[in-house]
A = this chain, B = another copy of it.
Amino acid sequence: MHKITMLGTALIGRFYTLTLHSGRGRDRVHVLYSRTAERARQAAEEWGVATWTTDMAAAIDDPETDVVVVDLPNHLHRDAVLLAAQADKAVLCTKPLARTAGEALEMLEAVEKAGVFHGYLEDLIYTPKMLKAIQAVNAGAVGRVLWTRSRETHGGPHSAWFWDTEQSGGGAIVDLGCHCIELSRALVGKSVRPIDVVCWAGTQVHPIAAEDSAVGLLRYDGGAVGQFEVSWCFRGGMDLRDEVAGTEGTIWLNHWLRTGFELFTNVGPQGYVAEKTEGDRGWLFPVGDELNELGYVPMFDEMLNALDNGTVPLETFYDGYVVNAIMDACYRSVTSRQWEPVRLEVWRGEGPVAAQRRMVEYDEAHLLIKEEVMPDGKTKLILKEKASGKMVEKVTHAR
């Protein structure tokens, strides 16, 4: 059982607190911190939290608290984490870990030096579908991973500070790309080194300084590619999809807009449908249990169980640091308009891997390139002559 200090009372603080208090959970948010007293007081009352304060250090130092959860604007993550490390408390920090890799590294070093438990609250790794997809990939179900796609787009964040580059550190990349990048890493393998990126970013719709849309490609050691698509301009709800293509299979995940729950209503559902839903008439796509589908429930379960068991959670500050380093390279690529290397001062994964090809022997003289059943029922083989490199066809009869 843990007593938790929650730093931050915005939507994410609400989701975190509801999650910790839901089900048959044995943990409680004990102290609530907000920068404004009014919000702290209101949230404490609404969410059933005993204590609230506008003094961050006091919130962290509360003697009953053993875990600090940071869900503040991005520019405040560092200070909060440093204070928690100083206070020798376990600390869980929301995504992105920091605004830059530099900031992230400072935070990583602080918690490691202090020896406190640290978790990176990348919730989308923990969605039930993603956990099972990672498990399937690790079991070899899709073979060698060649390509991942992670898409997170909606109409923009719900807090004013996120629209201000100074506080957030960027636009849609830093807000949403951090999710996509970490999902890609988890699917390709976290021990596989990210090499370089190319990234397009634009401000397509909103009168703001930051990018409201971006697409990036991340090359990994060994040849896999991670593609991310993020936007604050999407219409139709929140589009959360992931794909994996491998040598032996493929995975398609749709987390939000098509999950087997489809509702047509002429009158509206008379209440909240789901995060970032647009409209309340016609065909709507609610989600069953939002806190679970977004990964919050499995995330806190895993993190706090790891804390109890003295093990390392799935997502640590080191992961947050790598994500920040990749995002830094994305921003450099947007400016330089070319591929940019991912600069990692600290790399804890594996060294260089050679690229692989699939060499399937057909007979002594040929490699098999592919086979396909044709409309006339016959099977056509494409073969490569080893000696000449020439491609030839061979048609075999129906099974």
Contacts and interface: CB of A to CB of B under 8 A. Distances in A.
A250 interface: yes
Nearest to A128: B288
A127 B288 contact: yes
A272 B375 contact: yes
Contacts of A353: none
B265 A141 contact: yes
Interface stretch (A50-58, A80-88, A142-150): A142-150
Contacts of A253: 260-262
Contact of A259 (B131, B155, B259): B259
Contacts of A209: 389
A89 to B, nearest CB: 19
Given A132-B286, A236-B264, A289-B298, A374 B338 contact: no
Given A141-B267, A265-B142, A267-B143, A289 B128 contact: yes
A249 B263 contact: yes
Interface in A241-296: 245-255, 258-273, 275-290, 292-293
Interface stretch (A63-71, A159-167, A314-322): A159-167
A113 interface: no
A73 B155 CA distance: 46
Interface in A356-399: 357-359, 367, 369-370, 372-377, 380, 382-384, 389-393
A97 to B, nearest CB: 23
Contacts of A383: 160
Interface in A14-64: 14, 22-27
Contacts of A237: 264
A369 B24 contact: no
A9 interface: no
A139 interface: yes
Given A14-B375, A235-B142, A288-B127, A260 B259 contact: yes
A158 B289 CA distance: 29
Interface string A303-318: 0110000000000000
Given A23-B25, A282-B279, A358-B205, A128 B370 contact: no
Given A260-B129, A270-B140, A359 B233 contact: no
Instruction: Kindly report how many copies of this chain are found in the complex they form together.
Output: 4
A324 interface: no
A159 B393 contact: yes
Contacts of A129: 259-261, 288
A241 to B, nearest CB: 9
Nearest to A203: B357
Nearest to A378: B272
A208 interface: yes
B281 A282 contact: yes
A301 interface: yes
Given A157-B382, A272-B376, A281-B281, 17 more contacts: A23-B297, A132-B287, A146-B204, A146-B213, A156-B369, A160-B392, A198-B200, A233-B245, A235-B247, A236-B283, A248-B267, A250-B263, A271-B377, A281-B282, A282-B284, A283-B283, A337-B338
11 contacts: A25-B26, A129-B260, A136-B263, A143-B267, A147-B215, A205-B357, A207-B384, A236-B249, A236-B250, A239-B250, A283-B283
Question: Which 6 residue pairs are nearest across A and B when measured between Cβ atoms?
Answer: A128-B288, A236-B264, A282-B282, A128-B289, A338-B338, A249-B265
